[in-house]
Amino acid sequence: MKGDLVRQSSDGTLTSPKRTFRPRHYLMCEPTFFDVRYSINPWMDPTRPTSTQRGISQWKALHDLLVSLGHTVDLVEPVAGLPDMVYAANAATVVDGRALVARFRHLERADESPAYLNWLQAHGWEPLQATHVNEGEGDFLCAGDVILAGTGFRSEPKSHDEAQEFFGKPVLGLTLTDERFYHLDTALAVLDEGEIMYNPRAFSPQSRGLLAERFPDAILADEADAGVFGLNAVSDGLHVILPEQAKRLPDQLRERGFEPIGVDTTELLKGGGSAKCCTLELRPVRSVRRG
């Protein structure tokens, strides 16, 4: 319950929990070839003007912010003809040094998989090409001891079993029902080990029940903030980077002790992505404590 997250001081006032910054390792791809030439989600409209230069500027601001906060950011070389390669989070899920590489549903993105697989292999990670349709961290989010996995529009339910076997971690399947939130990371963000924020309206009744049971203290986003991709956020346990157009979520995050940082990703949203879509977290092998 919320009382578990909000502490009461000796004078009776309520205080937010102290948050811990944890430096992360991310992989990003500069949107050198960013454009909207086709439509594979409701946000993409090829008739709407798109500025590659504005996309690069917004991406660079996000990149530089992550570096300034103390995170490690590696870059994969963009490939001509792959305008969606900027959404690096969709390329794989990386846990304990192992990477399950995406198998995209749409042909337009298929060639992104070998580009990312080759990079991961060349840089010391252990990649495996997924057998079933699986769109990486777009639909697979690590939340403490469980991986939350989305389905309904992109990743297949069978990919959940594949991920569970590959990573050796339990996978909790969640069904998305609103096509605007076609990936899990557009409807839910992991804030810390066992804390999330999400948009209940994006999920099936059964999935809403599962989330409410497992995360009773979750922050719930309103329709306005969800609609500007406010949940496509990046958290390091203290800082939460999210679209600056989200108005209510920053206050909700501050109440829980987080430090929200707004960024402008409106150009990148034309392709159906924001801060989280642009960052693939590279989780190293966990050290085992002895003694």
Rounded-to-integer distance, Cα 51 and Cα 287, Å: 44
Question: Is there a domain that residue 261 lies in?
Answer: yes
Tokens standing for residue 126: 């252990």
Tokens standing for residue 276: 């989280």
Q: Domain range for residue 34?
A: 22-281
Identify residue 40 by its one-letter amino acid code: I
228 burial (CB, 10 Å; 0-12 / 13-18 / 19+) is: buried
Radius of gyration of the chain (CA): 18
pLDDT for 17: 86
Rounded-to-integer distance, Cα 276 and Cα 269, Å: 11
Question: Is there a domain that residue 16 lies in?
Answer: no
Note the pLDDT tens digit of each residue in 224-266.
Answer: 999 999 999 999 999 999 999 999 999 999 999 999 999 999 9
Question: Is there a domain that residue 67 lies in?
Answer: yes
Q: Which of 63, 71, 160, 183 is catalytic?
A: 183
The pTM of this model reads 0.93
Q: Is 277 an annotated catalytic residue?
A: yes
Question: Is there a domain that residue 150 lies in?
Answer: yes
Q: Which of 29, 142, 239, 277 is catalytic?
A: 277
In the chain, the number of structural domains is 1
The string of DSSP codes covering 56-92 is: HHHHHHHHHHHHHHT-EEEEPPP-TT-TTTT-GGGGE
- Across all residues in the chain, what is the average pLDDT? 94
Stretch 73-87: mean pLDDT: 98
pLDDT for 291: 37
Tokens standing for residue 120: 């991961």
Q: What is the CATH number of the domain that holds 98?
A: 3.75.10.10
Stretch 97-114: mean pLDDT: 98
Question: Is there a domain that residue 14 lies in?
Answer: no
Note the pLDDT tens digit of each residue in 169-209.
Answer: 999 999 999 999 999 999 999 999 899 999 999 999 999 99
pLDDT for 287: 58
Question: Is there a domain that residue 17 lies in?
Answer: no
Rounded-to-integer distance, Cα 162 and Cα 94, Å: 14
Stretch 156-171: mean pLDDT: 98
Task: Give the neighbor-by-neighbor strand order of the sheet with 259-263.
Answer: 234-235, 239-243, 259-263
What is the phi-psi region of residue 189: left when phi exceeds 0, alpha when psi lies from -120 to 50, beta otherwise? beta
The string of DSSP codes covering 88-119 is: GGGGEEEETTEEEE-B-SSGGGTTHHHHHHHH
Tokens standing for residue 256: 């829980």
Binning pLDDT at 50, 70 and 90, where does residue 16 land?
A: confident
DSSP class of residue 3 equals: G
Q: Is 142 an annotated catalytic residue?
A: no
Backbone φ, ψ for residue 45 (5° rounding): -135, 100
Length of the chain: 291
Question: Is there a domain that residue 1 lies in?
Answer: no
User: Which helix (H) or strand (E) covers residue 27, if one does?
Assistant: strand 25-28
Question: Is there a domain that residue 177 lies in?
Answer: yes
pLDDT for 7: 52
Q: Which residues in 253-281 are b (16+ Cβ under 10 Å) and which e?
A: beebbbbbbbbbbbbbbbbbbbbbbbbbb
